Amino acid sequence: MSVINKKCECGKNSIYYKSYEGRAYCKRCLARQIEMNVKKTLRKDGLIKKGDKIAVAVSGGKDSCFLLYIINKIFRNVKGIDFFALCIDEGIKGYRKKSLDAAKKLCKMLDVKYYVVKFDDAFNYTIDKIMKRISDEKSRQKICTYCGVFKRYLINKEARKLNATKVAVGHNLDDEAESVLMNILRGDFNRFLRLGASPILIEDKKFVQRIKPIRNVSSDEIILYNKINKIPFYYQRCPYSYDNVRRDVKNIIDKLEKKYPGTKYQIVRFYDKLKPILLKRVKPNGKMKYCKICKEPTSRDICEACELLEKLKN
């Protein structure tokens, strides 16, 4: 992101310059361009259709607050499409309450229904409790694995209970580019195939399809859009966000983007071109099963959440 003296095409002063487009934007034109970007993703990938009830996963951070705001803006007055916010409280003292307060503030501002589901109620564990239970530093650094697995599990289960047909998540362009590179670095072909606007999971009535309406909007643009529209959000980082592969990949991509503007966009475009070609030749692994312990859908005998819960007992 860089601000230059160039005027926007409409003649107004610019606040943002997209170097790879060679175009400067004023506040109004930028907001409009971002909204068009999201609409294009929704349309091109057919993400939301009449009859859908969308559970918007909202944490209170900049991306999910932007996602809820824009879904509300696009679908508020569209008949036959319903949505609500689904917030997960992982139990992280000094952090999650503040971010959920921002999420609730936004829901009230937009008059959107919201539901808060707690790890503690669902699993009898909070992330704080798990951190205390894990003694060695190496495992403590994997706290995001526990958090991510439990969160995905709970979002799917609760969204289903609330009759949602889809779950919208706040993955932005930066996240998507990072995921593409991360899966290449890890050699995780199966996960690589599951990226995209509407990731392929095992099709099953107990799985609620995940969609990523903001995957073509960059993190910088989201920050500006939130500012322009005075969208409340919580900006602090989780105290448990350790250095990990994603952080390293993010730093590399950010550096490349600075030197070669448009890198993030090109990585995602390249993936989008490659995926249909790959899917013609290979099918992602995994058959639908139900967890022997909790009966939730999984590709294994015991789902990842139950496996981690068992680990915590030892």
Contact 24, 12 (CB under 8 A): no
Contacted by 143, from Zn ion, ligand SF4, none: CB < 5 to 8 Å by type? ligand SF4
CA 155 from chain centre, in angstroms, equals: 12
Beta carbon nearer to ligand SF4, 12 or 118: 118
240 binds, among Zn ion, ligand SF4, none (CB under 5 to 8 A by kind): ligand SF4
CA 115/CA 98 separation, integer angstroms: 16
Minimal distance in Å, beta carbon 148 to ligand SF4? 5
**Applying CB under 5 A, does 149 fall inside the site for Zn ion?**
no
Nearest CA among 63, 118, 111, 41 for reference residue 86: 118
Residues contacting residue 302 through CB under 8 Å, at least 6 positions apart: 291, 292, 293, 310
Q: How far apart are CA 310 and CA 186, in angstroms?
A: 26
Q: Are 301 and 288 in contact (CB under 8 A)?
A: no
Site map 121..140 versus ligand SF4, x via CB under 6 A? ------x-------------
- What Rg value do the Cα atoms of the chain yield, rounded? 20
Nearer to ligand SF4, 77 or 135 (CB): 135
Question: Is residue 147 near ligand SF4 by the rule CB under 6 A?
Answer: yes
Site for Zn ion in 274-313 (CB under 5 A): 291, 293-294, 303, 306
Interaction between residue 8 and Zn ion (CB under 5 A): yes
The answer to whether 200 contacts ligand SF4 (rule: CB under 6 A) is: no
Q: Which residue has the tokens 């706290």?
A: 143
- Which 237-296 residues touch ligand SF4, going by CB under 6 A? 238, 240-241
Summarize as ranges the residues that interact with ligand SF4 (CB under 6 A): 90, 127, 143-144, 147-148, 238, 240-241
